[in-house]
Structure 1
């Protein structure tokens, strides 16, 4: 349902409200997070693809908060867990790590501290799930040293 919000540059308030109501309803079911995370892949498709995670990241942590921001921020942790769920070391998990690394790199910096912090966390997560992500980071770290410093600070806190 989140991709519906990304189909237009500015979805209607009614569309946002309906999507939020459905997601909040699903997440209010007992053990919803556990069920969603354990059923992370259905027939080769992720329940929450990386593109939807990127959209959710921007809806939950916009540069200029809007009326729905708090609600998106509330559902973000659960949906983030669903998006990154997978079997450690599997090929699909490694591919997902690369996709997450790319979306996180785009979101780090830019003057939005909260978005940057969450994106930096996602970037670090990608490093944890796929050693290839270190090589990919090595190829781009000089492109934006500030982003790399933020990532190193996050790694230092671990």
Structure 2
């Protein structure tokens, strides 16, 4: 499978905005480790191999364990995730699958048990951002240089 096009080369100003959003997210109250779990889970749902490779490496560099990364696709069945992480992962899935049922009130209230309104807003932006990156990578068949 070959890459279809390079959006960054074709529309560098769009990438400037995307990278600015990444800088914003890096300075939010949502921890780096949690942002990486979100990125991995969304990329699993969207079947984005490019982002999965990138963010599993980033998560490991940040101290995430192999076992938790492996278990992430089955987080509901795994004892390896905290209640806070479970709330975020459920929220992440519902935001990613927004057209199916929307975000249920129970899920939203569960996240609000652990996060302020501003932090919930930051989570929404973080989830939306990785979904957007996935759409670019999957649509254009982005590949890492070593592939």
**TM-score scaled by length of structure 1:** 0.28
Structure ranking higher on relative contact order (CA contacts 8 Å, 6+ apart): 2
